Amino acid sequence: MSSYIVKILETHYITHDVKQFVVEKPQGYVFNPGQATDVAINVPEWKDQLRPFTFTSLNVWDHLEFTIKIYPDRNGVTHQLGKTNAGAELIIHQPFGAIQYKGPGIFIAGGAGITPFIAILRQLSLNNQIEGNALIFSNKYAEDVILDEELRKMLGNNYMSLLTRENLIGFDERRISRDFLVENIRDFSRNFYLCGPDKFVEDINAMLVDLGANPEYLIFEK
Protein backbone atom coordinates (compact mmCIF):
# COMPACT_ATOMS: atom_id res chain seq x y z
CA MET A 1 0.00 0.00 0.00
CA SER A 2 1.47 3.34 -1.08
CA SER A 3 2.14 5.91 1.61
CA TYR A 4 3.30 9.52 1.50
CA ILE A 5 4.95 11.72 4.09
CA VAL A 6 3.43 15.21 3.95
CA LYS A 7 4.24 18.33 5.92
CA ILE A 8 1.55 20.20 7.82
CA LEU A 9 1.41 23.73 6.43
CA GLU A 10 -1.22 25.25 8.72
CA THR A 11 -3.61 24.30 11.52
CA HIS A 12 -6.43 26.11 13.26
CA TYR A 13 -9.54 25.32 15.27
CA ILE A 14 -12.86 26.04 13.55
CA THR A 15 -14.95 25.03 16.59
CA HIS A 16 -14.02 24.38 20.21
CA ASP A 17 -13.05 20.78 19.38
CA VAL A 18 -12.69 20.58 15.59
CA LYS A 19 -9.31 21.34 14.04
CA GLN A 20 -8.45 21.87 10.39
CA PHE A 21 -5.15 20.68 8.96
CA VAL A 22 -3.77 22.08 5.71
CA VAL A 23 -1.05 19.73 4.44
CA GLU A 24 1.13 19.21 1.41
CA LYS A 25 -0.42 17.39 -1.53
CA PRO A 26 1.71 14.66 -3.16
CA GLN A 27 2.18 15.11 -6.88
CA GLY A 28 -0.59 13.35 -8.81
CA TYR A 29 -2.58 12.52 -5.67
CA VAL A 30 -6.30 12.30 -6.56
CA PHE A 31 -9.40 11.31 -4.59
CA ASN A 32 -13.16 11.42 -5.03
CA PRO A 33 -15.04 13.95 -2.88
CA GLY A 34 -16.40 12.02 0.09
CA GLN A 35 -13.44 9.67 0.34
CA ALA A 36 -10.99 9.32 3.23
CA THR A 37 -7.47 8.07 3.78
CA ASP A 38 -5.61 6.44 6.65
CA VAL A 39 -3.50 9.02 8.46
CA ALA A 40 -0.70 8.67 11.00
CA ILE A 41 1.57 11.17 12.72
CA ASN A 42 5.16 10.81 11.51
CA VAL A 43 6.89 10.35 14.84
CA PRO A 44 8.21 6.99 16.09
CA GLU A 45 5.59 6.40 18.78
CA TRP A 46 2.61 7.26 16.55
CA LYS A 47 3.51 6.40 12.94
CA ASP A 48 1.95 2.93 13.17
CA GLN A 49 -1.31 4.29 14.64
CA LEU A 50 -3.46 4.79 11.52
CA ARG A 51 -6.87 6.42 11.65
CA PRO A 52 -9.25 7.21 8.76
CA PHE A 53 -9.94 10.90 8.09
CA THR A 54 -11.95 12.44 5.29
CA PHE A 55 -10.62 14.97 2.80
CA THR A 56 -12.47 18.27 3.00
CA SER A 57 -10.38 19.80 0.22
CA LEU A 58 -10.98 19.58 -3.53
CA ASN A 59 -8.74 18.06 -6.18
CA VAL A 60 -8.29 21.45 -7.84
CA TRP A 61 -6.64 22.81 -4.70
CA ASP A 62 -2.85 22.70 -4.42
CA HIS A 63 -3.02 21.25 -0.91
CA LEU A 64 -4.99 18.71 1.12
CA GLU A 65 -7.28 19.60 3.99
CA PHE A 66 -8.58 17.47 6.85
CA THR A 67 -11.24 18.62 9.32
CA ILE A 68 -10.86 16.51 12.45
CA LYS A 69 -12.77 16.33 15.72
CA ILE A 70 -10.33 16.27 18.62
CA TYR A 71 -11.01 14.14 21.68
CA PRO A 72 -8.70 15.57 24.38
CA ASP A 73 -10.04 13.21 27.05
CA ARG A 74 -8.80 10.16 25.16
CA ASN A 75 -5.10 9.46 24.93
CA GLY A 76 -5.38 8.57 21.27
CA VAL A 77 -4.51 9.86 17.81
CA THR A 78 -6.86 12.85 17.82
CA HIS A 79 -5.59 13.92 21.25
CA GLN A 80 -2.09 13.90 19.77
CA LEU A 81 -3.27 15.73 16.65
CA GLY A 82 -4.66 18.41 18.93
CA LYS A 83 -1.05 19.09 19.96
CA THR A 84 0.35 18.78 16.41
CA ASN A 85 0.86 21.94 14.38
CA ALA A 86 2.50 23.42 11.29
CA GLY A 87 5.92 21.99 10.50
CA ALA A 88 5.13 18.48 11.74
CA GLU A 89 4.57 15.61 9.31
CA LEU A 90 1.74 13.19 8.65
CA ILE A 91 1.75 9.90 6.79
CA ILE A 92 -1.17 9.45 4.39
CA HIS A 93 -2.17 6.48 2.24
CA GLN A 94 -4.41 5.80 -0.76
CA PRO A 95 -7.97 7.16 -0.75
CA PHE A 96 -10.90 4.87 0.03
CA GLY A 97 -14.58 5.06 0.96
CA ALA A 98 -18.10 4.28 -0.19
CA ILE A 99 -19.58 7.76 0.19
CA GLN A 100 -19.54 9.28 -3.29
CA TYR A 101 -21.97 11.54 -5.08
CA LYS A 102 -24.51 9.64 -7.18
CA GLY A 103 -26.93 12.40 -8.05
CA PRO A 104 -29.18 14.94 -6.32
CA GLY A 105 -30.49 13.94 -2.94
CA ILE A 106 -30.68 14.67 0.75
CA PHE A 107 -27.58 14.64 2.92
CA ILE A 108 -28.16 13.74 6.57
CA ALA A 109 -25.22 14.24 8.93
CA GLY A 110 -24.67 13.88 12.64
CA GLY A 111 -21.84 15.87 14.21
CA ALA A 112 -18.45 15.18 12.64
CA GLY A 113 -20.29 12.99 10.13
CA ILE A 114 -20.55 16.15 8.03
CA THR A 115 -16.92 15.84 6.93
CA PRO A 116 -17.35 13.58 3.85
CA PHE A 117 -20.16 15.83 2.69
CA ILE A 118 -18.07 19.00 2.87
CA ALA A 119 -15.92 18.12 -0.16
CA ILE A 120 -18.96 16.80 -2.07
CA LEU A 121 -20.96 19.99 -1.48
CA ARG A 122 -17.97 22.21 -2.21
CA GLN A 123 -17.43 20.40 -5.52
CA LEU A 124 -21.11 20.69 -6.44
CA SER A 125 -21.06 24.38 -5.58
CA LEU A 126 -17.93 24.92 -7.68
CA ASN A 127 -19.60 23.14 -10.60
CA ASN A 128 -22.87 25.07 -10.15
CA GLN A 129 -24.63 21.73 -9.54
CA ILE A 130 -25.80 22.20 -5.95
CA GLU A 131 -29.42 22.73 -6.95
CA GLY A 132 -31.62 19.75 -6.09
CA ASN A 133 -29.59 18.84 -3.01
CA ALA A 134 -30.44 19.47 0.62
CA LEU A 135 -28.69 19.00 3.97
CA ILE A 136 -30.05 18.07 7.38
CA PHE A 137 -27.29 18.56 9.96
CA SER A 138 -27.79 17.46 13.56
CA ASN A 139 -25.62 18.56 16.49
CA LYS A 140 -25.99 18.85 20.26
CA TYR A 141 -25.14 22.55 20.62
CA ALA A 142 -24.53 25.53 18.32
CA GLU A 143 -20.84 25.56 19.25
CA ASP A 144 -20.53 22.06 17.74
CA VAL A 145 -21.70 23.04 14.24
CA ILE A 146 -18.91 22.72 11.68
CA LEU A 147 -18.72 25.35 8.89
CA ASP A 148 -22.27 26.56 9.51
CA GLU A 149 -21.81 29.84 7.63
CA GLU A 150 -20.33 28.15 4.53
CA LEU A 151 -23.07 25.51 4.46
CA ARG A 152 -25.79 28.16 4.73
CA LYS A 153 -24.20 30.13 1.90
CA MET A 154 -23.96 27.09 -0.38
CA LEU A 155 -27.39 25.61 0.30
CA GLY A 156 -29.59 28.52 1.37
CA ASN A 157 -33.08 27.33 2.29
CA ASN A 158 -32.06 23.74 1.52
CA TYR A 159 -29.99 23.63 4.71
CA MET A 160 -31.59 22.64 8.01
CA SER A 161 -29.46 22.76 11.16
CA LEU A 162 -30.84 20.86 14.14
CA LEU A 163 -29.75 21.19 17.75
CA THR A 164 -30.79 18.40 20.08
CA ARG A 165 -29.93 20.14 23.35
CA GLU A 166 -30.28 23.86 22.68
CA ASN A 167 -32.90 26.26 21.32
CA LEU A 168 -31.54 29.16 19.27
CA ILE A 169 -32.85 31.37 16.47
CA GLY A 170 -31.83 29.94 13.09
CA PHE A 171 -31.69 26.39 14.39
CA ASP A 172 -34.40 23.79 14.93
CA GLU A 173 -34.36 22.21 18.39
CA ARG A 174 -35.41 18.63 17.72
CA ARG A 175 -34.10 15.19 16.86
CA ILE A 176 -34.38 13.36 13.55
CA SER A 177 -37.37 11.09 14.13
CA ARG A 178 -39.84 9.34 11.87
CA ASP A 179 -42.27 12.23 12.32
CA PHE A 180 -39.54 14.73 11.47
CA LEU A 181 -38.74 12.88 8.23
CA VAL A 182 -42.41 12.74 7.23
CA GLU A 183 -42.82 16.47 7.91
CA ASN A 184 -39.72 17.57 6.02
CA ILE A 185 -39.21 15.14 3.13
CA ARG A 186 -41.80 14.94 0.37
CA ASP A 187 -40.13 12.41 -1.89
CA PHE A 188 -38.60 9.25 -0.42
CA SER A 189 -37.55 7.91 -3.82
CA ARG A 190 -34.48 10.18 -3.80
CA ASN A 191 -30.85 9.49 -3.00
CA PHE A 192 -30.06 9.75 0.71
CA TYR A 193 -26.49 10.31 1.90
CA LEU A 194 -25.90 9.48 5.56
CA CYS A 195 -22.93 9.86 7.86
CA GLY A 196 -22.52 10.06 11.62
CA PRO A 197 -22.29 7.74 14.61
CA ASP A 198 -23.10 4.12 13.72
CA LYS A 199 -26.40 4.08 15.68
CA PHE A 200 -27.44 7.40 14.10
CA VAL A 201 -26.94 6.02 10.58
CA GLU A 202 -28.53 2.66 11.42
CA ASP A 203 -31.66 4.23 12.93
CA ILE A 204 -32.20 6.76 10.14
CA ASN A 205 -31.60 4.13 7.44
CA ALA A 206 -34.30 1.97 9.04
CA MET A 207 -36.76 4.89 9.23
CA LEU A 208 -36.12 5.87 5.61
CA VAL A 209 -36.68 2.32 4.33
CA ASP A 210 -39.86 2.08 6.43
CA LEU A 211 -41.07 5.29 4.75
CA GLY A 212 -40.46 3.91 1.26
CA ALA A 213 -36.85 4.75 0.47
CA ASN A 214 -35.07 2.32 -1.84
CA PRO A 215 -32.17 0.69 0.09
CA GLU A 216 -30.08 0.96 -3.10
CA TYR A 217 -30.39 4.76 -2.87
CA LEU A 218 -29.02 4.92 0.68
CA ILE A 219 -25.36 5.94 0.43
CA PHE A 220 -23.29 5.48 3.59
CA GLU A 221 -20.04 3.95 4.79
CA LYS A 222 -20.72 0.26 5.28
For residue 62, give the CATH number of its domain.
2.40.30.10
Give one DSSP letter per residue of the chain, joined into a string.
--EEEEEEEEEEESSSSEEEEEEE--TT----TT-EEEEEESSTTTTT--EEEEB-S-TTSSEEEEEEE--TTS-SHHHHHHT--TT-EEEEE--B-S----SSEEEEEEGGGGHHHHHHHHHHHHTT--TT-EEEEEESSGGG-TTHHHHHHHHGGGEEEEESS---TTSB-----HHHHHHH-S-TTSEEEEESSHHHHHHHHHHHHHTT--GGGEE---
If asked whether residues 75 and 113 sit together in one domain, one would say no
Res 155: pLDDT: 97
Q: What's the pLDDT score for residue 171?
A: 66
Report yes or no on 99 lying in a domain: no
**pTM (2 d.p.):** 0.93
68 shares a domain with 21: yes
Residue 116 domain-assigned? Answer: yes
Residue 68 inside a domain? The answer is yes
Are 67 and 139 members of one domain? Answer: no
Q: Which range marks the domain in which residue 25 is found? A: 3-93
Query: Could you give the number of structural domains in the chain?
Result: 2
Average pLDDT per run of 10 along the chain, which is 222 residues long? Answer: 94 97 97 97 96 97 97 88 97 94 97 96 97 96 94 96 79 82 94 96 96 96 85
> pLDDT at position 222, please?
80
